[in-house]
Each structure stands twice: as structure tokens, then as C-alpha cells.
A and B are shown apart, each in its own frame.
Chain A
């Protein structure tokens, strides 16, 4: 996030940017997805050009290639069909259930050598997609683009899923007075505490219609059942590592919503 923040400052000053990854030795798959989501967002680049090089580290270079990163940036490294990963952007629909299944098929064929149903991963992907429409565009008619990815790590034998949108985030998606009233009414002092309560179904959705407030808690339920692992949520000024129950306030807010989780054998 610090790296993106620096890059964003250059773009906002109308500078073109050269991204030097040559000395980078490791980068997680979620960071690659977030990087793509920002580079393809005109609000971030301000339409300014950018270019970059590939990591000298062979393992990371392969990870970039296999993640599907080069599908979205001009490069000589563009592979036709990355086998270990896929990065997808929202296309025709807000919720693209077929795309969700395609990502799961890729992951489970790597994990189990065949497609194995992953109802919780499917549910989590659809809830994330659904959330972008309801929240990411700030209640306006604007359609927020989202990005979903999967990457299979051979060594760790795990599939990592990332979902990111660069909208307004959960806590800036509605009239600030509504959120303020909710915080007061629920005696919640921060967005951090609010997210913790949202996950645990201790408050209704900020849509204020109880039966519509089940999306985010259902992701938490998938985690509690052990069907998704290492769940991390970042939105606005909140970072939540659900596994370690660490919820903290970020000094550098994230514009939008980020979900990360893993599936292993």
C-alpha cells in the first residue's frame, strides 16, 4: 500500500512512472492483483503512461508470468495460457457466477487434479462481487470495476484468492450521517470495531434492511467452517486478519475493498 501510495502521488503530479521490479525478490499474489487493479484504473494513473521491468528473481518472474499479470500490461512476457493463475476483471455483469466457477475449476484442478466443488469459495466470490455494486460505487449509479484472481502455489500446495475493487469502500459507501448515526446507536467507536461486528452478524447491513445484511457475515461463516483459510479484509481505514483476530486502523487508508483467502488440501 505504501508502494502504491508513492506511485499514485507520481501519477497525480502528471508524471509518467517507471516501475522497477528488478530487485524485488518476493511479492504475494494478492499484491500482484492489487497492482494490476490500480494500473488499469484511470483514476489512479490519471491517464499517464507507465512501464516497467520484470524481477530478476526467477521464481518471482515465473509467478508474474503464471499469475496472468501480463494479460493486462504490454509485455514480451505475455503467455497465452498461464497455468497456475488467472486474474479477471468485471466484464458484463456485476455478479459473474460463471467466472467464479472458472476460477474455482483452475484452483481445484491444481489442488486435486480434478474439479472439486468449493461451495464456500463460490459463495465468497459472489458475495464480494455483490458487495461492489451495493457499496463500492458510493450509492451512485456508477458501476465499479472489480478484479478477482486465483493463484496456485506449487510449493505451499495452496490456492490464493484475491478480490479487489477500487471503489469507495464499505464505510464510505453511504451518507456519512447514516454511518455516524449507526456508530452512535451501536456504541461503536471506530470502523475497525464496526467491521468486526459486521462479520459476526452483530449489526444489520448498512443498507438498513436486515434480510439484506447477510453477505459479509456469510463470508465469515465460511471461514468459521474452515472452508476458506487466512481470511484478510481491508477497506477504508480498516485492516482485519480474521484468523489471528487482529483488527487495526490503518494510517494510510485503502480506497476500496480487498478480500484475500486461501484454500488448501
Chain B
């Protein structure tokens, strides 16, 4: 948990899709790969540059496949230091509270082989 200020917000449902899809673009629409590259990474970099925190709203979608979340958040932690990724992200997930723990695990285990 960080004490830094929330400087950026991202809603998966409003900014990306209400029906998040698979891991990769080749597998279907609204992929984790697409979300990472078009939305999550730019928003993360903005928050990092401002020494702030990115708040991600997970509510309002139909749900999530694990592969979507792993590719998006684990994928971010494979591109940038995972400790930093973990500190710069906060989540709102009233619909499915367990998703936050899942995502934290994906970030923590992003590079495990």
C-alpha cells in the first residue's frame, strides 16, 4: 500500500470494454494485450511520471477471464519493475472483491517460470 496521491484513473468498462475478452488479440476482441498497450501502460507511465498512483476501476464489466487480467497486469509487471507496478496501482472492485488479490498475485508472480 502506498501513501502517494491518486493522479490517474482508468475504468475498464468505460474506457475499454464492458466485455473484457481473452489474453491476446489473436484470440478475440477486447484482449488483455490490447488493454495493456492502449490503456494500462500509458496510464501507468503517467502516474509514475507524476509520482502518483493509478486507480483502476474494475466494476461495471460482465466479468474477467484470468488470462485477461494476467496478461494486462502481469504483463505490465514483465515490462516494468514489479515492485514499482505494485506500488503504483490501486483498485476498485466492489462487484468482485477477490479480483484485487488475484491481480496482486499476477503482478508478484509475473516473471516466475
Report A's interface with B, CB cutoff 8 A.
93-98, 100-101, 104, 117-123, 126-127, 129-130, 133, 209-212, 214-215, 218, 225
Given contacts A95-B22, A97-B20, contact A133 B27 (CB under 8 A): yes
Question: In the complex, are the beta carbons of A95 and B28 less than 8 A apart?
Answer: yes
**What are 19 A-B pairs at a CB distance below 8 A?**
A93-B28, A94-B27, A97-B17, A97-B30, A104-B62, A117-B62, A117-B95, A119-B62, A119-B95, A120-B63, A122-B62, A122-B63, A123-B64, A123-B65, A129-B22, A130-B67, A210-B113, A214-B67, A218-B66
Other than the known A94-B26, A119-B95, A123-B66, what 17 A-B pairs have Cβ atoms closer than 8 Å?
Answer: A93-B27, A93-B29, A95-B65, A97-B29, A98-B29, A100-B62, A118-B63, A119-B62, A119-B96, A122-B63, A126-B63, A126-B68, A130-B27, A130-B67, A211-B112, A218-B65, A225-B98
B residues in contact with A211, CB < 8 Å: 70, 74, 106, 109-110, 112
Question: In the complex, are the beta carbons of B70 and A126 less than 8 A apart?
Answer: no
Chain A, Cβ-Cβ closest to B78: A211
Complex Cα distance, B20 from A101, in Å, reads 10
Q: Which of B63-104 contact A (CB under 8 A)?
A: 63-68, 70, 74, 95-96, 98
Given contacts A211-B109, A211-B112, contact A97 B21 (CB under 8 A): yes
Given contacts A120-B63, A130-B23, contact A96 B109 (CB under 8 A): no
Interface size on B, residues (CB 8 A): 29
Determine which of B17, B21, B74, B96 lies in contact with A126 in the assembled complex, contact meaning CB atoms within 8 Å: B21
Question: In the complex, are the beta carbons of A126 and B65 less than 8 A apart?
Answer: yes
Question: In the complex, are the beta carbons of A210 and B28 less than 8 A apart?
Answer: no
B30 CB, nearest partner CB in chain A, Å: 6
Binding site secondary structure of chain B: loop
A residues in contact with B66, CB < 8 Å: 123, 127, 214-215, 218
B19 part of interface (Cβ distance < 8 Å): yes
For B2-35 the 0/1 string (1 means CB < 8 A from A) is 0000000000000001111111001111100000
Question: In the complex, are the beta carbons of B29 and A126 less than 8 A apart?
Answer: no
Complex Cα distance, B109 from A23, in Å, reads 56
B residues in contact with A212, CB < 8 Å: 67, 70
Determine which of B62, B74, B113 lies in contact with A97 in the assembled complex, contact meaning CB atoms within 8 Å: B62
A residues in contact with B98, CB < 8 Å: 225
Determine which of B62, B96, B109 lies in contact with A101 in the assembled complex, contact meaning CB atoms within 8 Å: B62
A residues in contact with B23, CB < 8 Å: 130
B58 CB, nearest partner CB in chain A, Å: 10
Give the top 9 A-B pairs by smallest Cβ distance, nearest first.
A122-B63, A119-B63, A95-B28, A93-B28, A126-B65, A95-B22, A97-B19, A97-B21, A214-B66
B residues in contact with A210, CB < 8 Å: 109, 112-113
Complex Cα distance, B63 from A60, in Å, reads 33
Chain B, Cβ-Cβ closest to A99: B19
Q: Find the residue from B20, B66, B95 having the highest chain A CB count within 10 A.
A: B66
Complex Cα distance, B21 from A123, in Å, reads 10
Complex Cα distance, B66 from A94, in Å, reads 16
Complex Cα distance, B65 from A259, in Å, reads 16
B110 CB, nearest partner CB in chain A, Å: 7
Complex Cα distance, B61 from A122, in Å, reads 10
